[in-house]
Structure 1
Amino acid sequence: MFTPKYPPADHAPTASTTTASAVPATITPAPVTPAPVSNRPTIQLTPGSTLALVGGGTAVVLIVGTVLVSMLLAVAITGVSVAICAVVLRSLLNDSRKGR
């Protein structure tokens, strides 16, 4: 029930022994066809398009950098405010235990 059931093994066809010659036939390789040429147009960069690509890339880098730095600052400010709250709560609890 739990044993796997394998399909029957494939066997390669055996050569027929009824050939007239005992010398095996040589196999000629198929001719190699050249790779087809692509019909897509090539991209030609002009000085104007190069300048536009550089400007667009610079803008993307600056925007992504600004977003990442603002997220880092938000995490840092949150961490500092939590630390300040912990110090204030600790001092309040210590004062209440001493009976002041």
Structure 2
Amino acid sequence: MSRRALRRQTQAPTPFAGRSLTPYAGAVAAVVVVGVVLTALLAAVAITAVSVAIAAVVLRSLLNGANRR
């Protein structure tokens, strides 16, 4: 075998030879933004649920106290 043939066999192919990852930056940013928005919405729903549960307990307590009198 010639030297050139040996050099071709020993070089590992690069997966992104000549291409940059710049086109994927927009997609990655969009995924991150959607993840942050969904996490914020989930937190808002959880806080609302806790607030409603506390209001229900207080209202139930007030109604039970009014019925006993």
- Shared fold per TM-score greater than 0.5: yes
Segments of structure 1 that go 5 or more residues without pairing to the other structure are 1-36
State the partner residue of 1:54: 25
* Moved segments of 4+, more than 3 Å: none
Q: Number of aligned residue pairs: give it.
A: 61
- Specify the code of the residue in structure 2 equivalent to 1:71: L
Higher helix share: 2
Matched residues in 2 for 1:79 and 1:53: separation?
39
**Corresponding residue number in structure 1 for 2:42:** 71
Q: Give the C-alpha shift of residue 51 in structure 1.
A: 2.7
* CA gap 1:44/1:94 in 2 versus in 1, 3 angstroms: same
What is the CA distance between 1:69 and its match in structure 2?
Answer: 0.9
Q: CA deviation at 1:88?
A: 0.5
- The answer to whether 1:86 aligns with 2:54 is no
- Give the superposed CA RMSD: 2.2
Decide which structure has the larger Cα Rg and report it.
1
Indicate how the Cα distance of structure 1 residues 42 and 50 shifts in structure 2: closer, same or farther if over 3 A, else same: closer
* 2:12 is the alignment partner of 1:39: yes
Structure 2 alignment gaps of length 5 or more: 1-9
Aligned partner letter, 2:57: A
Q: CA deviation at 1:53?
A: 1.8
Whole-Å separation in 2 of the counterparts to 1:45 and 1:75: 47
**Distance in 2 separating the partners of 1:59 and 1:75:** 24
